[in-house]
Amino acid sequence: MQLLFSELCFIVCNIFIFLVFTSHHSFIHSNMWNNLPSDLLSSVFFYLPPHSLARAMATCRHWHDCGRSTTRDTSCQRHPPWFIAVPTRGTSSLCFVHNPIETTWHRLNLLNLEHVPSVTRPVSTVAGHGLILFKSTGSVPIQLSVCNPFTGRFRHLPPLRKPRTNPAVGVIQNNGSSEFKVYVAGGMSEAESGGAASYEPTLEMFDSRINKWTVVGSMPVEFAVRLTVWTPNESVHSRGVLYWMTSARAYSIMGFEMSSNKWKELSVPMGDTLEFAAMVPRDGKLAVVGGTHGGNVSVWELGEDDKWNVIERMPVELGKRFTNGGTKCVGIEGGVCLYKDIGKGMVMWRSNWNHKNKWEWCSVEGCNEISGKRLENYPIRGLFLRPNLAYSSFF
């Protein structure tokens, strides 16, 4: 009897010790991650792609605040850029974003954001800061706004010094800081009472640091005309020059040199035979992606001597889908995307983070359904962004 009793005690004691140990153990575990210094947490967050970061920020308040205050250097190309599809015509207001890591399409609340007026169109991006620049549509003088589609923040820019319609819009961003400048060139200025509207041969600049527009200088009227009639889709800043390209054949490029306040003109390789062409930035240099009707797509880079060199050709197999017109192209540092409509497959050319100098072509499936329902195909304007979830004093 006694033996049994002491055995029982022994067992009970062990169970008790075991329970204390495991609860103590899990107590340690549960505290383990709770008291990470914020800087260390930021260091971990740095390595998370945007969708993982957003999910981490949704776990608790502390992690949410840490993510909001971790200013990522979004010019760093550790994470691949995200492609955003915005409908070009009023038939649909569904915007989609492509997650390049999970290769999934998601509905993006863009045109339906609370403050976004319904008559706006994306005109450009401050791609490195994860922002979209919107312009008002219609015949009123242009009104520009800035939006971060991944945090939902939105803000109007103040009115221009010289109001105009249909100007070229360009962006210069500082790497390593959240500041940026918006440039507006050309456009039609309002008619003086009774007179005819005329081309506005001036360039003005918005500095996000001081929240003001300044007239930078004048420009040749001929350039103002071209930039107004064939309003460019994007600008590229390279080696101190801000470049714009006319939006239709015969393609030509105009550049504004910051330091000398002078304008210059560049020819586009095969500028009068290309069916589509777009300027993209590449390692700080200006590049042009262009294709013929037959589906031959090439990439040219501008050398130091302002001469073009072919640096890449799209594999023939992929080029087959870009025949018969309607091809568009968008680029960002580290990636180029060729596309047509939301439903049709796209082709991307992207740098591989692990082998920085190696760029790879890949095919991306279009978005054909949403929540199990078939999606009608519609034409889109594509944008490339590096999602930025951090708090910005700009808004």
Q: Which residues bind another protein (CB under 8 A)?
A: 26, 28-30, 32-34, 36-37, 39-40, 43-48, 51-52, 54-56, 58-61, 63, 97, 102, 104, 106-109, 149-152
CB nearer to another protein: give 41 or 337: 41
CB nearer to another protein: give 37 or 90: 37
Min dist. Cβ of residue 214 to another protein (A): 35
CB 366 within 8 A of CB 341: yes
Q: Dump the DSSP string for 249-275.
A: SSPEEEEEETTTTEEEEEEPTTTTT-S
Min dist. Cβ of residue 45 to another protein (A): 8
Of 337, 246, 238, 253, give the one whose Cα is nearest residue 285: 238
Query: Measured between alpha carbons, how far is 278 from 243 in angstroms, rounded to an integer?
Result: 11
Min dist. Cβ of residue 155 to another protein (A): 17
CB nearer to another protein: give 42 or 292: 42
Of 298, 208, 209, 282, give the one whose Cα is nearest residue 239: 282
Min dist. Cβ of residue 32 to another protein (A): 5
Please state the length of the chain: 395
Q: Which two tokens stand for residue 198?
A: 């005329």
Min dist. Cβ of residue 50 to another protein (A): 8
Q: Which two tokens stand for residue 195?
A: 């007179």
Query: Measured between alpha carbons, how far is 205 from 189 in angstroms, rounded to an integer?
Result: 16
CB 234 within 8 A of CB 279: yes
Min dist. Cβ of residue 16 to another protein (A): 24
Q: Which residues contact 231 (CB under 8 A, 6 or more apart)?
A: 166, 167, 168, 247
Min dist. Cβ of residue 74 to another protein (A): 16
CB nearer to another protein: give 82 or 180: 82
CB nearer to another protein: give 67 or 167: 67
Query: Measured between alpha carbons, how far is 85 from 367 in angstroms, rounded to an integer?
Result: 10
CB nearer to another protein: give 97 or 329: 97
CA distances from 204 to 115, 183, 213 (A): 26, 6, 7
Min dist. Cβ of residue 169 to another protein (A): 25
Query: Measured between alpha carbons, how far is 270 from 176 in angstroms, rounded to an integer?
Result: 36
Query: Measured between alpha carbons, how far is 149 from 146 in angstroms, rounded to an integer?
Result: 10
User: What stretches of 59-178 show up as alpha helix (H) in DSSP?
Assistant: 61-69
Min dist. Cβ of residue 82 to another protein (A): 9
CA 173, 178, 179, 180 torsion-angle sign = positive
CB nearer to another protein: give 34 or 357: 34
CB nearer to another protein: give 32 or 248: 32
CA distances from 222 to 86, 200, 211, 218 (A): 32, 11, 30, 12
CB nearer to another protein: give 308 or 394: 394
CB 200 within 8 A of CB 162: yes
CB nearer to another protein: give 108 or 245: 108
CB nearer to another protein: give 36 or 197: 36
Q: Which two tokens stand for residue 203?
A: 């360039």
Min dist. Cβ of residue 128 to another protein (A): 19
Q: In degrees, to the nearest 5, what angle opens at C-alpha 365 toward C-alphas 361 and 371? A: 150
What is the DSSP-derived secondary structure letter of residue 127? G
Q: In degrees, to the nearest 5, what angle opens at C-alpha 152 toward C-alphas 162 and 378? A: 80
Min dist. Cβ of residue 202 to another protein (A): 38
